[in-house]
Amino acid sequence: MTIPDLEIQRVKQRFGIIGNSPLLNNAVHVAMQVAPTDMSVLITGESGSGKESFSKIIHHLSPRKHGQFIAINCGSIPEGTIDSELFGHEKGSFTGAHEARKGYFEVSNGGTIFLDEIGEMPLGTQARLLRVLENGEFIKVGSSKVLKTDVRVVAATNINLMTNVEEGKFREDLYYRLSTVPIYVPPLRERGKDIELLFRKFAADFAEKYKVKPVVLTDEAKEVLVQYRFPGNIRQLKNLVEQISVLSSDNKEIDTARLQHYLPKESNLPAIYKNYGGDKEGLSERDILYKVLFDMKKDFNDLKKLVLEAVPSQSKATQMVKDHPALFEGIHEDSQPISADSMVLNLSPSDREEDAVEDVHDISHEAEDESLSIEKKEKELIIRALRKNSNKRKYAARDLGISERTLYRKIKQYDLED
């Protein structure tokens, strides 16, 4: 079922979802499609990306919209009390249980329960939850009476549950029961210009709250903002805008220098993004290929430097063979190792000198050709991706299988700004 774009925009406006990125619109589309059913839903995405908003869409667009909606953070409830919170308990069932208590699954009968951070749920509670999902049955703590409930479960996580399954921290049967329909909420860094829209929205909200003029960004500052990773996602961006709104009382136009003053410093280490599709390492094949190519180029240049230093000198060549015997084994057809003496001493002084010069030139040319070939191919790939996507760097980066930040760095390296 295809939902019209206008209807998607109405739903986003109703639930306060700001942005027009394709990944965000797809997540809203899936939530609207699954809402009228009673299927379990697993929402994945990084912390602070807005997963709870999608659980509300699913509830309020479903036949259960008049029932109760309860949101529970499984990570915030102690392991010793989570069973009581979810399923209730009988009087005297444990120390402090002075009276019987209804759990969330009993209270929300006919409604929806949103279980956030489902990966933090203890294994014993997972078994109880699986029984609710399969049979609609549960037992209160300290009771033997089986009770029935009709509750829809929407779960969310910011970790890769399949990794937890493999490590024995999460039940495999529960994982497949919950993820009947998966919804992926993209992190802020994958939403492109949505970051600017959210900045303006938060700036207007805080201007009204604190009775000040809204802060605005220069064009250069907008570019810096969009390139920033935002590990804390929407929550981090909102806090950033509030900080700028309060502290920038003299000048409300924020340039690059002032914006970078408020942005936390990023690590220079390469970022490895979480992948919720089952890839444990979270790296694309292209990222790995690029890394291998660059490492090979570096190793080749190091080897060239080693040979350049070693070949003109008999003593250096001898030491090189001793230090790196594997490099000189198996070169002859009879697979016999080459000694330093046979490499250098069997030649006359003039022959050694001429051969050494020729070898150095050959190695230099091979290294340069190899280096240029890799860089040329990489540059061509980047140009083709940019042309294909009308110079929209976000989509070009996606086609290349690298992060936007890496693409920006490569564009600068190859002088492709125009």
Over the stretch 170-222, which tens digit does the pLDDT of each residue have? 999 999 999 999 999 999 999 999 999 999 999 999 999 999 999 999 999 99
What's the token pair of residue 9? 């925009």
CATH number at residue 202: 1.10.8.60
Q: Is residue 320 part of a domain?
A: yes
Q: Is residue 353 part of a domain?
A: yes
Percentage of the chain surpassing pLDDT 90?
58
Looking at the fold, whether 162 and 18 belong to one and the same domain comes out as: yes
Q: Is residue 39 part of a domain?
A: yes
Q: Is residue 269 part of a domain?
A: no
Asked if pLDDT for residue 418 goes beyond 70, the answer is no
Q: Is residue 268 part of a domain?
A: no
Looking at the fold, whether 143 and 56 belong to one and the same domain comes out as: yes
Domain boundary among 186, 220, 250: 186
Rounded CA Rg of the chain = 30
Looking at the fold, whether 98 and 230 belong to one and the same domain comes out as: no
pLDDT tens digits, one per residue of 330-343: 444 444 444 444 44
In terms of C-beta density within 10 A (0-12 exposed, 13-18 middle, 19 or more buried), how is residue 311 classed? Answer: buried
Q: Is residue 118 part of a domain?
A: yes
DSSP state, residue 159? S
Looking at the fold, whether 176 and 195 belong to one and the same domain comes out as: no
Which phi and psi (to 5°) does residue 45 adopt?
160, 160
Q: Is the dihedral of CA 60, 61, 67, 70 positive or negative?
A: negative
pLDDT at site 409: 81
In terms of C-beta density within 10 A (0-12 exposed, 13-18 middle, 19 or more buried), how is residue 24 classed? Answer: buried
Spatial separation of the C-alpha atoms in residues 133 and 130, rounded to whole Å: 5
CA-CA-CA-CA torsion for 169, 173, 175, 179, nearest 10 degrees? 180
DSSP state, residue 4? P
Q: Is residue 280 part of a domain?
A: no
If you average pLDDT over residues 20-36, what whole number do you get?
96
CATH number at residue 148: 3.40.50.300
Of the candidates 211, 213, 202, the one whose C-alpha atom is nearest the C-alpha of residue 242 is: 202
If you average pLDDT over residues 12-36, what whole number do you get?
96
Looking at the fold, whether 194 and 181 belong to one and the same domain comes out as: no
* Domain extent at residue 353: 285-413
DSSP state, residue 342? I
Looking at the fold, whether 297 and 199 belong to one and the same domain comes out as: no
In the chain, the amino acid numbered 307 is: V
Asked if pLDDT for residue 284 goes beyond 70, the answer is no
Looking at the fold, whether 182 and 209 belong to one and the same domain comes out as: no
Looking at the fold, whether 180 and 69 belong to one and the same domain comes out as: yes
Q: What's the domain count of the chain?
A: 3
- In whole angstroms, how far apart are CA 132 and each of 116, 128, 177, 207, 253? 17, 7, 11, 47, 54
Looking at the fold, whether 236 and 342 belong to one and the same domain comes out as: no
Looking at the fold, whether 242 and 363 belong to one and the same domain comes out as: no
Q: Is residue 275 part of a domain?
A: no
- In whole angstroms, how far apart are CA 248 and each of 31, 211, 212, 241, 245? 39, 13, 10, 10, 6
Looking at the fold, whether 385 and 237 belong to one and the same domain comes out as: no
pLDDT tens digits, one per residue of 49-103: 999 999 999 999 999 999 999 999 999 999 989 999 999 999 988 888 889 999 9
Domain boundary among 136, 152, 186: 186
Spatial separation of the C-alpha atoms in residues 271 and 84, rounded to whole Å: 40
Domain boundary among 133, 166, 186: 186
Looking at the fold, whether 250 and 298 belong to one and the same domain comes out as: no
pLDDT tens digits, one per residue of 113-158: 999 999 999 999 999 999 999 999 999 999 999 999 999 999 999 9
